[in-house]
Amino acid sequence: MSDGWAATDDRDRSWMRRALALARRAADAGEVPVGAVLVRGDEVIGEGWNRPIGACDPTAHAEILALRSAAIQVGNYRLVDSTLYVTLEPCPMCAGAIVHARIARVVFGAADPRTGAAGTVFDLLRSSQLNHRAEVTGGVLAEDCGALLREFFRARRAVGSATGAEVTISAG
Ligand SMILES: [Zn+2]
């Protein structure tokens, strides 16, 4: 785990379980399983799961869809005082959207060693060069979140080798 990620608690794990349930919906639809829940106080104000293939939209990551639905529900593109729970560390695109939305805190499950932008590869959420910084907690239910992704890719590889097709998938 990266230094500087804030501590977690039972409440974080409870919301992460909800994000995991959303990630499973993505897997059921053949999408890379990532789920996201945006919470303010004790209220869910937005949620989403990864669906770039189904939506034919390269920006349809779980975090973006959760932010969009929350902004419409709240009637404000700034989602101050909210916490985003997401099963996989946000990519640079999603981290940028999180900064634009002024989200106070980001809690993620599995770290992403390829494109993670919450401290693993990039640290966009805590960059002093941007005009907003979020508190970051990583590694919450990381085993469950990572296992869901590994199982998904293992199954896809099995399909690919059975058909001789090349299977190339990009994660959250
Ligand atoms: Zn993303």
- pLDDT tens for 69-90 read 999 999 999 999 999 999 999 9
Instruction: Report CA(93)–ligand 1 centroid distance (Å).
Output: 5
Catalytic (active-site) positions: 63
pLDDT grade, residue 168 (50/70/90)?
A: low
Burial class of residue 58 in the structure, from the number of CB atoms within 10 Å of its CB (0-12 exposed, 13-18 middle, 19+ buried)? exposed
Helix (H, G, I), strand (E, B) or coil at 93: helix
pTM for the whole thing?
A: 0.90
Instruction: Report CA(136)–ligand 1 centroid distance (Å).
Output: 16
